[in-house]
Chains A and B, each alone.
Chain A
Amino acid sequence: MVAVTLSGLQRGLRQSLPYKGLRLAAVVLLLALLLPLLAISAAALGGETGEFLTVTTLLYMLGQTLYYVGGVVLLSLLLALPAAWAVVMVDFRGRRLATWLLFLPFALPPYITAYSYDDLLRAGGIYVSGGILAILTTALALYPYIFFLTRMALKQQHCHIQSAARLLGCSPWAAFVRVSLPLARPAICIGIALTAMETLNDIAVAEYFSVQTLGVGIYDLWLNRGSMIAGARLALLLTIIIFALVWWEEFARRRQVQYLSVCDKCYQCERATKISGSKSALLWLLIALPAVAGFWLPVVYLAYLARQSWAASLADSWQLLATGLYGSVLLAVLLVLLLLVAAMLVAMEKRLNKRGSAMRLLVRLSRVIYGLPGTVIAQGIFIVSIAVEFILGWNLLAGGSIALLLFACSTRFYIIAGGTIESGMDKISPQLDVAARLAAVSPLARFGRIYLPLLRSATAATAVMLFLEGIKELPMTLVLRPFNFETLATVIYQYASDEALLLAAPAALLLVALAAGAVTLLFLFEGDDTNNNRQQGQRAETIVNA
């Protein structure tokens, strides 16, 4: 009955003008997100036939990329899986604190971890090969992706599944290996795909340690050797690899739906085995390893360098620091505002208009863009701006505004906003629309009185995530920032490239402080999620009645 009413309601809505406008706006927005990809493809498929790398160089780059990405994924798994098991399956003193500590390395961009370790090891006279150090430092910064998703998957598993395994003769560890881990496999696969994509996105660490990855290759071909066509061709190759990774991730997600089995009380069910004393201390050691190595060690070292830098009273660097802070916050805040509006627009369109297959394809493609490295997107935007200059005579690059940079960042990070807001919108019962419509609540009022209040936590979490990505972003900013515009990330990169980490330390510390605050907020939101879910139904009812 409800389905019939809803169908009739949507049919009526689709015929009205504001909804057609909403659809048009959403289509334009999603097409704009795809512009860089289209530009790269056009540039790569056009141009001279022979303009590309030699097979040997290409194979070498592919090998280096595989070595780097494979190493990072493997090490991230080794760091994340035992930690996720410990914080979900074992009850020990300070478990919540341990979880927060394990989240914290997410606040450190891989390039800061890499610069800190390299400097620290050099100061200690320890030699480690560049490739190994690149893998180690990137994994320390990226393992939280796998940790976070695995932990969520383990937490959501039905408590009876574990109990059933125990009663069938499994010890707690055997139950984890035979049941919990296979059930968490789809989430782990998604974590692996995200880690791999972020590793491919990196150019700073790979370039710093002279690892010739595809990302570095694009940057080098395009900006150092001035061959845009060859760069675009390499970018297209990388895009195809990313497409494969995204497909794999989606495949894993599809199977996850089948595997997911959550009981209403699961968040309250306490399945963890209680330990204390020496066992608890040993577990803390296991958890402390990635947390200390991934966050506290580089941060303490940066603080030590920043103190030295302060003592040296380097006036120029402080001015640059202020400029960088202003640029980072401006970019992050604008990104948050722009993407929240865009995501709300698309989510509203999805809710009010029945989505056609063309629209579904656009949304799917917008997801793929997230997987593309920043360098590829920056190159795509660069090509688009050249095309605009050629056709319309407008020089966007020389305009001196951060609009192009903002556009590039929005393209890459749209999925964070779109995904979270859309999934929040999906959780709102369609019956609320019927109730509101019958109570003669206009669509605009519905947005303000129903959707926004119910999306409050999703919006807050999205804002924090976008802010975090905005202040950590480096590759696109490096390429597309206007003259005299700096962010903390570019300041750090410039100093670190000149092997002057002492001067980069204050900016790195400031960036880490901002990011750590954002990570802590995200951690707190996640803790509140259970309450929010429970209260949502009650709140929705109150809102409609009001």
Chain B
Amino acid sequence: MSLLHLDSVVHNYGERRTLNGVSFELQQGQIGCLMGPSGSGKTTVLLCIAGLEHIHSGNIALKQQYISSATQHVAPEKRRVGMVFQDFALFPHLSVGDNILFGLRRTAHNSWQRQLAEMLELCGLETLAEVFPHELSGGEQQRVALARALMTDPDLLLLDEPFSRLDATLHEKLSRQVRDILKARKQTVLMVTHNQNEAFLIADVGGVINEGAICQWDDMDGLYHRPRCTFVAGFVGDGALLAGRMQADGAVEGALGRLVGESVASNPLITAGDPVQVLLRPDDVVLSADATGAADTPCAPAIVEQRAFRGATTLYSLRLTASDEKIISICPSHVNYLPGDRVDVRAQVRHLILFPALET
């Protein structure tokens, strides 16, 4: 049985519909991640689960108990749900220790001192118990917010873009630390972010939300390799869509010749002879100078339009000369082309991802 279950949740802000039938579930101990562009409704999902927003229809169940529906609303303080806010929302008038202990009833009989010491150690805050929030760095504030939320031992922890205020270096380091802490406690977590790298680092399962509706809820590998729609394909990872025609043997014929994958994530609506769109990831497209060992694969001429230097790699935007279609390719940075250069490209596709062609 799932720990968290959302069934057709609808939420409105005044006249505007912000969530339109959101459904997904999360198992005990899983870390789930909801991704989506700004304004897609991902934070609203968290607020509804936390009870800070009322839902219009549908229902939300936590540990098989309904906590939100059109007629029922359990108060936030009674849900056993913790939350780490984007801005951490630390209480500025309390020390780190008092912030962490805020949700805990302190009596002479319980072991709050020991619990505090353990939590400080778990989150690497041992020396900061007496310090005030404004004296902490961004990373330390983030860990205090996490410790405060974990201290009440919530059934579900919600993380609202918890790393968005941190710089890039700290970002990756803390993401790993946070995942370790959460996994060590077997904590069930739902996080929202617009940053897919963050999601790949932390989450076990994830979903993509757009305009208040979940496009796909899957494991992280599935979101990348088996996107169910072009929005998910475009949002999770880089890529370009290339026109082609479905063949009877499962291959696709297009501007880059005959494309055959080891596996095919096809749409049941597509049959042989249908026009299709093929998703090409940048690592699926190889510039001719590097296509060694694949000489049997046909080449297609292209023109380099843009190059984005990324340190170890360079991302090239290319235009196919024959069909005028655009594709992208990632190469080691020692492969150096300039905008306007003519190159040969070939496809080395392992997972063939197909969508029905757009009607014109």
Contact = CB atoms under 8 A, between A and B. Distances in A.
Contacts of B92: 183, 258-259, 261
Nearest to A164: B89
A164 B94 CA distance: 14
A169 interface: yes
29 contacts: A158-B87, A158-B89, A160-B87, A160-B89, A163-B52, A164-B85, A164-B148, A166-B52, A166-B76, A167-B76, A167-B77, A167-B79, A167-B82, A167-B83, A167-B149, A168-B77, A168-B148, A168-B149, A169-B77, A170-B77, A171-B77, A183-B91, A183-B92, A183-B93, A185-B93, A258-B92, A258-B134, A259-B93, A261-B92
Contacts of B243: none
A161 interface: yes
Interface of A: 158, 160-161, 163-171, 178-179, 182-183, 185, 258-259, 261, 263
Contact of B102 (A158, A165, A183): A165
B50 interface: yes
Contacts of A165: 91, 102
Contacts of B102: 165, 168, 178
A221 B54 CA distance: 66
Contact of B103 (A169, A171, A263): A169
Contacts of A261: 92
Contacts of A185: 93
In the complex, which of the residues B81, B85, B89 has the most CB atoms of chain A within 10 Å of its own CB atom?
B89
In the complex, which of the residues B83, B134, B148 has the most CB atoms of chain A within 10 Å of its own CB atom?
B83
Nearest to A174: B77
Contacts, number: 59
A178 B98 CA distance: 12
Chain A interface main SS type: helix
Given A164-B148, A165-B91, A171-B77, 8 more contacts: A160-B89, A163-B89, A166-B76, A167-B52, A167-B81, A169-B77, A182-B93, A261-B92
Interface string B86-116: 0101011100000000110000000000000
Interface residues of B, number: 21
Nearest to A178: B102
Nearest to B54: A274
Interface in B60-90: 75-77, 79, 81-83, 85, 87, 89
A258 B133 CA distance: 10
B266 to A, nearest CB: 44
A167 B154 CA distance: 10
In the complex, which of the residues A165, A167, A178 has the most CB atoms of chain B within 10 Å of its own CB atom?
A167
Contacts of B82: 167-168
B152 interface: yes
Given A167-B77, A168-B152, A169-B77, A161 B103 contact: no
A286 B132 CA distance: 37
Nearest to B103: A168
Given A168-B102, A169-B152, A183-B92, A163 B50 contact: yes
B76 A263 contact: no
Contacts of A263: 87
B91 A161 contact: yes
A166 B77 contact: yes
A418 to B, nearest CB: 29
Interface string B127-148: 0000000100000000000001
A164 B351 CA distance: 44
A509 B277 CA distance: 80
Contacts of B79: 167
Nearest to A274: B54
A259 to B, nearest CB: 5
Contacts of B75: 166, 171
B142 to A, nearest CB: 14
Nearest to A259: B92
In the complex, which of the residues A158, A160, A164 has the most CB atoms of chain B within 10 Å of its own CB atom?
A164
Contacts of A160: 85, 87, 89
Contacts of B87: 158, 160, 263
Contact of A163 (B85, B134, B152): B85
A170 B76 CA distance: 9
A163 B148 CA distance: 13
Contacts of B93: 182-183, 185, 259
The 9 closest A-B pairs by CB, nearest first: A168-B103, A160-B89, A164-B89, A166-B76, A160-B85, A169-B77, A182-B93, A167-B83, A169-B103
Interface string B145-165: 000110010000000000000
